[in-house]
Structure 1
């Protein structure tokens, strides 16, 4: 079976480690992390890649959770689609963490991939600082994060935590959050790339669009 992997740049380190750990080589298309800003743009971009690639592949794998419901409605006429049955990348990387939904109510999450993004918290603060001045920039950040308590760096084993920690601490100080480090897991990604698709994966046959029923068991926001 010929396989294609479509993956988010945000978790590139983790996906590449999963491929290495399982000694798997798959042609991979890396999608911009800015697509997360709009589920509709994400869906359209992923569908465009499916349309371009489906004739050449039997199976198209997605290193994505159903971010903002952005993977609902995807369809291939010729290839099987395989999608991890998780709400987003955080659920993938913290799949072995208990009480994740409770933790999410007070925690903002980071990995090296998020720190490499174009719209990180410190970059956003600097933008507001230049545009509005220090007082208003801090007020904006305080409003944005008033319900949060912790800034969690997820140790996925795919990057140097000690090297990333000084910047994370600076961000925590900037927005008034306590920095914590939590052990993550790339097990779902390893299963994805090695074809070990259990009940935590949506396996969609050709001609069928993904829908809400495919993602039963995870948090979805129905319109």
Structure 2
């Protein structure tokens, strides 16, 4: 097997941690996380990235989930191995004791990762200010978060999510959308399985030139 890891930028640091834990050192190709807000654009980005892989790569280990249909009708000349989860947040919520394709709860916004590797509610607002004037950015922002009442920090054991500075930053995010801040368990188990070749029923293993669809994914 001559694999490459295709990772959403949101999960790249967790992929590195998984490789350290499993003593692997496969090359990592990043997908721009900015496309996450538009699955159609992410799908095009995925197809373009797959088409540029070196000819000797025979296996693509995917560090992301189905992500709103980003993998719908995607095929390539390599074997594709991808966790059977809804998205990157759902992947981070998996623990050795608990698996489901989507463990997210309605009304909950999830934070994971530190610094620029993670998710930030404030960064979403900043991105809206780049697209709209302040009045419209406020309207779009409030509409996006109006049904969220909880902000949960995912404790996956890879960094100190109880660090005072990190919690203060998370509390600002929670306050910004008038939500309660809490902690929920998570882990890096799926990425460790991915890089170590322990592909059980929690993974989809797709032969070369086979179309990926939501039906076979879930």
Tell me whether the two structures share a fold, i.e. TM-score over 0.5: yes
How many angstroms apart in 2 are the aligned matches of 1:64 and 1:102? 15
CA distance in 1, matches of 2:89, 2:56: 31
Match of 2:202 in 1: 200
Superposition TM-score, scaled by structure 1 size = 0.84
- 1:81-160 paired onto structure 2 within 5 Å: 81-96=80-95, 104-112=105-113, 116=116, 120-125=120-125, 131-132=133-134, 141-160=141-160
Once the two structures are TM-superposed, the CA of residue 149 in structure 1 deviates from its matched residue by 1.3
CA contact (8 A) 1:112 1:164 kept: no
What is the root-mean-square deviation of aligned Cα atoms in Å? Answer: 2.7
- Aligned partners of 2:90 and 2:103 also within 8 Å: no
Q: Distance in 1 between matches of 2:124 and 2:73?
A: 32
How big is the shift at 1:166?
A: 1.0
Stretches of structure 1 that go unaligned for 5 or more consecutive residues are 217-223
Counterparts of 1:17 and 1:199, CA distance in 2 = 23
Aligned length: 212
The alignment partner of 1:86 has SS state of coil
Match of 2:37 in 1: 37
CA deviation after TM superposition for structure 1 residue 194, in Å: 0.6
Q: Secondary structure at the match of 2:62?
A: strand
Change (3 A) 1:33 1:103: closer
1:109-162 deviation per Cα after TM superposition (whole angstroms, max 9, x unaligned): 11126x62698421344565x9336xx876654443232211011112223311
Q: What is the aligned partner in structure 2 of residue 220 from structure 1?
A: none
Unaligned runs of 5+ in 2: none
Q: 1:103 to 1:201 in 2, by over 3 A?
A: closer
Q: CA deviation at 1:104?
A: 2.0
Q: How far has the Cα of 1:185 moved from its partner? A: 1.0
What is the match of residue 221 of structure 1?
none
Aligned mates of 1:211, 1:38 — CA distance in 2: 18
Q: TM-score, normalised by structure 2?
A: 0.85
156 and 119 in structure 1: CA distance in 2 versus 1, 3 angstrom threshold? closer
Q: Is the 8 A contact 2:107 2:149 kept in 1?
A: yes
Counterpart in the other structure of 1:173: 175
How far is the alpha carbon of 1:28 from its aligned partner? Answer: 0.6
- Can you list the C-alpha shifts for 1:68-98, whole angstroms capped at 9, x where unaligned? 1101212112x21111111111111112358
Structure-2 residue corresponding to 1:219: none
